[in-house]
Structure 1
Amino acid sequence: INRHAVETGFLIATGTVVLHYFAGFGGGPKSIVPGLAGVQTIAANHSLNLDPLEDRPDPRVRIGVLGGNPVAEDIADAAGMVRVDLCVNTVLNRQGEICGLHAGALDAAHLAACAQAAALYTVSLDAQADLVIASAGTARNFLQSHKALFNAWQAMRPGGKILFLAPCPEGLGGSNFAEWLKLGNPESVIRHLRSHAEINGQTALSTLAKGPSTVMVTGMPPELVRDIRAVPAGTFQEGLDHCLAELRAGGTARPAIRPMPSASHTVPLPWDGPKAYHGAINTAPNTGE
């Protein structure tokens, strides 16, 4: 942990709370780890995203879940070793405006902000869709667009398709994200992450798992789209026609379609239902049952 933060006479942790795809939520203790942590500490924490026994993501690592999530619990444990005198966390609405401000002790302020963020951004679905049409809005690059793709994945049935609209005028983003993608498949990324854990590697793992289900309408060159294992489409209609043809070939002639025009700000509940979100507020362990 940064020496200045440890030795200061009064430490204030600030941040905005959003749902995070493997840390559960942002804000709160994440201001300490990874916010003020050294590279080795951050890498050790991110490595907990992987199942310790199998080459796969750890199923306990969930968006919007703190209790039982090994990444979130490690962050909380590490932050507990640092004296935080005041935590100030905000929650933003879909227009990026402050709609909530929570201040006080680190855990209390953070959990209050988590409760508001979960209420604001999560949605319950009556069924998963055959085809999800998702927009990343004005995200400047793919790394910023990834959360929209992740959320769309939550709304798609196994074997379904995602038509992903992500302009990405600045390309992939990230200093070495492209190198992680060139590993080509989730299994290779997992093996590399075991010894070289970092955030862009975690995002590459998530991306390469979702790419084969994705048709992407974007300003990125087609070769970059193929690097994320997705199918490039020049127009919305071309992408839609491709998705419908793939679904028909798989036996789905009249697909259920779900639009997600603000996919970056819409988090479908995990398909095992709201029970999995119980840990988001009171940190009760998530057993995955």
Structure 2
Amino acid sequence: MIAKLPYGRGFVACDLRGLRVFELKPAAPRGQNLERLVAEALQKPLGLPPLSQLAAGKAGVVILVPDVTRKAHLPVVLPAVFQELARGRVSPQQVTLLLACGTHPPVHLEALREHLGPLPPGVSVVQHDSRDQKQLVRVGELTDGTPVRLHRLAVEAPLLLSIFTVQHHYFAGFGGGPKMVFPGVAGYEEIQVNHGRVLDLSVDPPRLHPRCQPGVLQGNPVAEEILQVAKLRAADFSLGLVLDQAGQLAWASAGHWLEVWQEGIATVQAWYEVEAGPFSRIVASAGGFPTDHTLIQAHKAFDAASRFVSEGGEILLVAELAGGPGSPAMEPFLDDPQPEAIATRLRQHYVQYGHTTLRIVDKTRRFKVHLVSQLDPRVARQLGFHPVPNPQEVLDRWREEAPGDTVGVMAGAAVYPRWTQGEVPCLS
């Protein structure tokens, strides 16, 4: 088998011939008609009247859309939404696209155009900035009393729509749905407080909370608070999407945001959870651009792949990382990149991407991780990776050392082990 692993906007070829291979891939159907899926979803909304009816008479519409770190096929999806709004006599001048960036930085105009596609003249585009105090409006509190602020445009919108993809999230259970509101258009401080609940502070040194796992919502303190806060200004109408292994649209549903999200979760569980492993060796791609542009984004696929590897095993990770680590907030944690030291620092002052650093170094300590990327080798080694210029060097050694072993290969979209809510593995 010769695997083509997505890498940036291209591929890296890996010759796996002579190795026994188990492909870790989703069961999502391929070759769907994107326009048809979206049109049918909008024509048969769940729990709500058609969008055109909801939009009729509204003075303005705000549409929450994913930022450029998420694949959502907006150049195909948005025209169908604009068409429904036009049926409700909403003009493009009355529509604002609000990118739910969370704490991600804004992007330049060229990347924005590629992400959104051509827009009707008059449509406004705003990128949420979680640190811009002027654009935030208080709407409530977190469970500990921390004020919750959301973007003024979302709070005051006569009609608030959301478009999201549903997928596993490595510590918040699932993405999409309520995450479009919180943390999507929330203030920086409250996002940090919520994400800080990923640490279990009942032990010393702190550990990762055992319920903050992909696919787990019940008993997950991060996910439960996200859901609670999102209800303070829930979307009035939503369009949910699920992608296939190649990143193409495979499922769509529209209507009440919670019903759409729940249907999307059921679809993702059926397609993206598999029974396999553990393997002593695994090859994984971070999925190509944009999900392998920075280490912060590529870590999600890395985390998924690691869940199929036996303790002390080897991972060959292919991720371009042309954007580097992804945040300067990771740099202070490289001074003492030991999991215990990072966890102690996070207990004193939680930093979102410090947590990402903790997750990375926890895995590079437990597994031998070979990294094919453009990341500065010095930074890669600080994080515990073993940079390699050519993946074939690793594969040839595997072929010589253990020709009879089965190698797991995650060449496309990330998949996760299938478990029930009561069988969630407890990570260190």
Please confirm whether the aligned pair reaches a TM-score higher than 0.5, indicating the same fold: yes
Distance 2:165 2:220 in 1: 20
User: Residue 38 and residue 221 in structure 1: after superposition, are their counterparts in 2 closer, same or farther (change >3 A)?
Assistant: closer
How far apart are residue 244 of structure 1 and its match?
A: 7.9
Distance 1:39 1:183 in 2: 26
| Residue of structure 1 in register with 2:363 after alignment | 210
| Residue of structure 2 in register with 1:279 after alignment | none
1:88 aligns with 2:243: no
| Residue of structure 1 in register with 2:420 after alignment | 275
| Pairing 1:19-34 to 2, within 5 Å after superposition | 19-34=168-183
Q: What do residues 23-44 of structure 1 show as CA deviations (whole Å, max 9, x unaligned)? A: 1111111011101211121011
Distance 1:198 1:102 in 2: 35
* Structure with greater proportional helix content: 1
Contact 1:66 1:72 (8 Å CA) reproduced: yes
User: Residue 274 and residue 166 in structure 1: after superposition, are their counterparts in 2 closer, same or farther (change >3 A)?
Assistant: same
Distance 2:167 2:350 in 1: 23
Q: What do residues 127-163 of structure 1 show as CA deviations (whole Å, max 9, x unaligned)? A: 3001112122422232222122111101101121112
1:100 aligns with 2:251: yes
| Residue of structure 1 in register with 2:225 after alignment | 74
Distance 1:21 1:153 in 2: 11
Distance 1:120 1:207 in 2: 26
| Residue of structure 1 in register with 2:376 after alignment | 221
| Residue of structure 2 in register with 1:283 after alignment | none
Aligned to 1:81, the other structure's residue is in SS state helix
Contact 1:43 1:196 (8 Å CA) reproduced: no
Amino acid at match of 1:47: G
| Residue of structure 1 in register with 2:278 after alignment | 128
Aligned to 1:176, the other structure's residue is in SS state helix
| Residue of structure 2 in register with 1:9 after alignment | 158
How far apart are residue 112 of structure 1 and its match?
A: 0.8
Aligned to 2:199, the other structure's residue is in SS state coil
Q: What do residues 102-144 of structure 1 show as CA deviations (whole Å, max 9, x unaligned)? A: 222221111111122222322221x300111212242223222
Contact 2:196 2:352 (8 Å CA) reproduced: no
Contact 1:122 1:266 (8 Å CA) reproduced: no
Distance 2:389 2:305 in 1: 20
How far apart are residue 76 of structure 1 and its match?
A: 0.6
Please give the TM-score of this superposition, normalised by the length of structure 2: 0.58
Q: What do residues 180-206 of structure 1 show as CA deviations (whole Å, max 9, x unaligned)? A: 344412222222222433432221111
| Residue of structure 2 in register with 1:193 after alignment | 346
| Residue of structure 1 in register with 2:317 after alignment | 164
Distance 1:64 1:157 in 2: 20
Contact 1:68 1:287 (8 Å CA) reproduced: no
Name stretches of at least 5 consecutive residues in structure 2 with no aligned partner.
1-148
User: Residue 244 and residue 181 in structure 1: after superposition, are their counterparts in 2 closer, same or farther (change >3 A)?
Assistant: farther
What percent identity do the matched residue pairs reach?
32
Contact 1:217 1:239 (8 Å CA) reproduced: no
Aligned to 2:163, the other structure's residue is in SS state strand
Larger of the two Rg values belongs to structure:
2
Please give the TM-score of this superposition, normalised by the length of structure 1: 0.83
1:117 aligns with 2:262: no
| Residue of structure 2 in register with 1:235 after alignment | 390
Distance 2:320 2:424 in 1: 35
| Residue of structure 2 in register with 1:140 after alignment | 293
Amino acid at match of 2:177: G
Contact 2:181 2:234 (8 Å CA) reproduced: no
Distance 1:134 1:219 in 2: 16
Distance 1:52 1:194 in 2: 7
Contact 2:343 2:358 (8 Å CA) reproduced: yes
| Residue of structure 2 in register with 1:155 after alignment | 308
Alpha-carbon RMSD? 2.4
How far apart are residue 241 of structure 1 and its match?
A: 5.9
Distance 1:189 1:261 in 2: 31
